[in-house]
């Protein structure tokens, strides 16, 4: 079954707390890839992690739920999530430097 583009959703997310130096980016990418999502994740200079993820709404919601907790060493204090524009050219989920 082909996923139609109108069924795809995208989120732009900012995660605050102890989220750098705790494998948050790598763990997020692994989780997103396992859910079949595309997008990217990166550290910000202010200590937050920023990510863009897109795909069908159910796996996307699972990723957002996971991001609220993150990997074992992370301590997420806040998560800002907003709907974003789907990028039809994005096929993979990558960690950005």
d(CA 89, CA 18): 32
H or E stretch including 49? strand 49-56
Angle of helix 24-34 relative to helix 57-67, nearest 10 degrees, comes to: 160
The backbone torsions φ and ψ at residue 18, rounded to the nearest 5 degrees and listed phi first, read -85, 85
**25 flagged as catalytic:** yes
Instruction: List the structure tokens of 16.
Output: 């605050």
d(CA 51, CA 38): 11
**78 flagged as catalytic:** no
Catalytically active residues, by annotation: 25, 43
């Amino acid at each position: 079954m082909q996923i139609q583009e109108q069924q795809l959703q995208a989120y732009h997310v900012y995660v605050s707390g102890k989220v750098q130096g705790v494998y948050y980016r790598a763990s997020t990418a692994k989780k997103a890839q396992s859910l079949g999502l595309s997008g990217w994740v990166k550290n910000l200079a202010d200590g937050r992690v920023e990510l863009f993820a897109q795909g069908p709404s159910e796996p996307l919601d699972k990723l957002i739920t996971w991001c609220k907790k993150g990997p074992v060493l992370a301590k997420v204090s806040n998560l800002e999530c907003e709907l974003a524009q789907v990028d039809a050219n994005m096929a993979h989920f990558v960690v950005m430097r």
